[in-house]
Amino acid sequence: MTFIDKHSSGGPAAWKVLLVDDEPQVHEVSRLILAGLCFEGREVTLLSVNSAAQAREMLDREQGVALALIDVVMETDDAGLSLVRHIREHLNDQDMQIVLRTGQPGVAPESEVVRGYEINGYVLKTEVTAQRLHTIVIAGLRTYRHSQSLRGAMTRSAPPDPAPMQSVLCLELGLLREAEAVFMQVQPEVGLASNRITGVELVPSWKTSKGLLPAARLCEILPAGPVRQRIVQWLLDQACYWGRAWQAGSDEPLTISIPLVGESLDEADTLEAIADAVRGAGMARGSLDLLVSESVLLSGQPAIQSALVTLRAAGVTVTLVDFGGQTIALQRLNQAVPDRLKLHRLFVRGVAADPERIVLARSLIAVAQTLNITAIADGISSDSDAQFFKWEGCEVGQGDALAPACAPADLAEFLRHGRHISH
């Protein structure tokens, strides 16, 4: 079913809101709630489709969709997530506001979705009242209008100059020291042999007119310079602050991992800021860990080895993330050996039920063991997967089946009562 509910009165062009959901009742209720809704003198056009496939067809015909309300589970368990990637990557639409709605949060946990997809909101269907839906739509339209205005201003500028975009990012990211500007979650790391929390990964997303931007996305947008350096410093401050809070009352070490914001490890300002933060906070060796991508660590640049020596001298460890997701260059890996390897989720989630992926996961763990590197299984979602990686000698695991992501303050409260994870 494809349904277009147009409230047209010959006035200004209506706002286009796309609803993608396989439950007919959701469409019926949404049409009733949004009937007659106006924002800034413009009415709302509700475009309703029942599947991600129909949504793709609709978006091929309809231009200027301001807001998409997308169900996660439709024709497949990840249909909604695939549609998000289609919009952002294939259609290259960065302005459309995307809010995911789900009735099955266990299939796509909020912490993982927010971290991995460029969305502007994530809500449970049971939480969406009439007032909440009005709020979601109005907020989405306002942000879309703001994003369009900024894009139009930059398009009209002549000659083309990257400075306007840089100014916009500086303005938006200048809010990053305010609590409301950053959506921060933490993902515990659990020792698979002990069932105890051994480390914590900080997972920040910055709230901008383009939605929630994870650290990896900031790497792509921001060139080297003062703005990116401020973000690095802010992350370091957060790691030191929460590290002290979590460590209070405990003699056991706790590793705090933060994403590397920058294109390389050989940026002098970044290395200096990291070393200064560790010294200033009096952090124990191994307490601060950098999460680095393969493209950075295994770039083959001679300066990378020098950077690793500098970091280790300061007591900082390095974790290679998403290991196995790309072609594995063992020669380069041997030249720039990280302290830890985080296995890509493709080889973790549901692996215990897939013989082919079991073989691949074992091979990746064997590489880590051969190089004397700590292996981390990222995205463990079941007890059977946790048992598999424990038996295979993988030292650390992350995922909702072990310890779900949470707010920093919530983790602090948990750690006050010990680090043991019960299942």
Q: For Cα atoms 10, 39, 98, give the angle at the middle one, nearest 5 degrees.
A: 110
| Structure confidence at residue 8 (pLDDT) | 44
Residue ranges per structural domain of the chain: 2-153, 166-415
Q: Note the pLDDT of residue 371.
A: 86
Strands 288-292 and 255-259: parallel
Question: For residue 128, what pLDDT is reported?
Answer: 82
Report, at the CATH architecture level, how domain 166-415 is classified.
Alpha-Beta Barrel (3.20)
**Cα angle: 13, vertex 19, 22; to 5 degrees:** 155
pLDDT at 296: 75
Instruction: Report pLDDT for 179.
Output: 46
pTM for this one? Answer: 0.60
Q: Note the Cα 209 to chain centre separation in Å.
A: 16
User: Which pLDDT does position 375 carry in this prediction?
Assistant: 95
345 C-beta neighbours (distance < 10 Å), count: 21
CB contact at 8 A, 348 and 385? yes
Task: Residue 103: name the closest of 135, 151, 70, 66 by CA.
Answer: 70
* Contacts (Cβ under 8 Å, ≥6 apart) of 413: none
Distance, in Å, from the CA atom of 156 to the CA atom of 238, rounded to the nearest integer, reads 39
Q: How far apart are the first and last CA of the chain?
A: 43
CA distance 65 to 91: 12
2-153 topology per CATH: Rossmann fold (3.40.50)
Q: Which residues of 141-166 are buried (b: 16+ CB within 10 A; e: fewer)?
A: bebbbebeebeeebeeeeeeeeeeee
Taking the C-alpha atoms of residue 69 and residue 141, their distance in angstroms, rounded to an integer, is: 12
**Which long-range contacts link 174-180 to residues 24+ away (Cβ below 8 Å)?**
175/207, 176/206, 176/230, 176/231, 176/234, 177/234, 180/207
* pLDDT at residue number 177: 44
Residue 192's pLDDT is what?
Answer: 94
CA distances in angstroms from 393 to 98, 157, 362, 386, listed in the order given: 40, 58, 9, 11
Can you give the C-alpha Rg of the chain in angstroms?
A: 23
Minimal CA–CA distance to 335: which of 371, 377, 295?
A: 371
- Stretches where the chain sits below pLDDT 70 are 1-11, 149-181, 208-211, 218-226, 248-251, 261-264, 266, 299-300, 325-335, 417-418, 422-423
Per-residue model confidence (pLDDT) at position 191: 94
CB 242 within 8 A of CB 202: yes
